[in-house]
Amino acid sequence: MHALSRQQFTILVILTLVWGLNWPVMKLGVTSYPPLTFRALSMWIGLPVLALGMKMLQVPFRIPRRHWRELFWLAVTNMFVWHVCIILAVRTLSSGRAAILGYTMPIFSAVIGALFFATPLGRRGWTGVSAAAIGVLLLLWHELTHLAGRPLGVVLALVSAASWALGTQQLRRTRVQAPALAISFWMTVMTALVMAALATLFESGQWHAPDRNATGAILYNAILIFGFAHAAWTYLARGLPAVASTLSVMMIPVLGVFSGAVWLGEAVHWQDWTAVALMMVAILSVLWPARVPPVEPAVSSPASRRTG
């Protein structure tokens, strides 16, 4: 379906590591700190990091005025809903299972693309989506009993995944004429304002100085997530087909599960190992270069041979 360039592959590997390890980091951060405030602080600290990177790369900040309305709606689907819902879900669920539910996004993306954006999937695309779906179900196998008692967290994670899937489809088709870094920067600015307003409205009574775990998690998110990962994702989402860009990061929840097991002592079962293989199938199904059939040499007609 699409072959990655060396630059895309390098960014994808780094993005997978940064985002995958962030799930237990977020869990540590929000366990003892208000989640909306945690997210807001991470964004406001991360924005200067992203701005500095843009200055060093000489990327212009300007977005033409005619594109601001579309940029706002891109921020709603890609960031507003995702960040509010997923950070609240992380606080109620284990970090690994929140990652799994959040990364049902490729399944939502495939369905949304087929239903609303006239992008039917080929056989390899459906193979990848099916493998990812089975992997998600396996990873949730031992959590179904626990999830039944935490329906709000499950619903929030699935809503965030569906919104991100819609946003990815929109990013692929955006008419905003600006570099990916500029789009990511201004979406982050708008989201930081929204998160700050929500944190003030709902969590001001819980504000206190973050402890060491929360401080480390805030800095990790500020520098690596908002200073790098979101910009990297915007670049990949604009440059790759929607299914390829979404399924290509399916190793992130796998990393979330196993890093949560190492750092937080969350249990890992045989279903988790099986899911790793299925995620690899999903990735390879959309990123392995398709075989190009050999071009048959043109056969000249008798008339052309007579006139030649």
Both tokens of residue 69? 């309305």
Q: Which residues of 198-219 are buried (b: 16+ CB within 10 A; e: fewer)?
A: bbeeebeeeeeebeebbeebbb
- The per-residue pLDDT for 120 is 72
Residue 80 located in a structural domain: yes
Residue 87 is encoded by which pair of tokens?
Answer: 């950070």
Q: What is the pLDDT of residue 113?
A: 83
What pLDDT shows up at residue 244? 58
For 210, the token pair is 């973050």
With beta carbons less than 8 A apart as the criterion, state whether 282 and 135 touch: yes
Question: What is the domain extent for residue 78?
Answer: 6-288
Give which of 256, 216, 291, 277 is closest to 42, Cα–Cα: 216
The first and second tokens of residue 93, run together, are: 């669920």
Calculate the dihedral angle through the C-alpha atoms of 47, 49, 51, 52, rounding to the nearest 10 degrees.
Answer: 160
Considering only CA atoms, which of 48, 46, 89 is closest in space to residue 221? 46
C-alpha dist (Å) from residue 78 to 71, 84, 168, 230, 273? 10, 11, 7, 10, 30
Residue 302 falls inside a structural domain: no
Name the DSSP class of 178.
S
**Cα–chain center distance at 201:** 27
Query: Helix or strand or coil: residue 290?
Result: coil
On whether residue 306 sits in a domain, the answer given is no
The tens place of each residue's pLDDT in the chain, 308 residues long, gives 456 678 888 888 898 899 989 999 999 999 989 999 999 999 999 999 999 999 998 999 999 999 999 999 999 999 999 999 999 999 988 887 788 788 778 778 877 887 888 777 677 777 877 887 787 777 666 656 565 556 788 889 889 999 998 998 898 888 898 998 999 999 999 999 999 999 999 999 999 999 999 999 999 999 999 999 988 888 887 776 655 555 556 678 778 878 888 888 877 777 767 776 777 776 666 556 556 555 555 555 555 444 44
For residue 171, give the nearest of 80, 77, 91 by alpha carbon.
77
104, part of any domain: yes
Question: What is the rounded distance in angstroms from the CA atom of residue 194 to the CA atom of residue 164?
Answer: 17
User: How many structural domains is the chain composed of?
Assistant: 1
**CB half-sphere exposure, 215, CA atoms < 13 A:** 5
CB atoms within 10 A of CB 34: 22
Asked if residue 28 is part of any domain, the answer here is: yes
Supply the pLDDT for residue 82: 95
Closest CA to 179 of 49, 16, 64: 64
User: In this predicted structure, what is the pLDDT of residue 297?
Assistant: 53
Residue 34, pLDDT score: 97
Give a yes or no: residue 301 inside a domain: no
CA distance 89 to 67: 32
296 in a domain, yes or no? Answer: no
Question: Does residue 97 form part of some domain?
Answer: yes
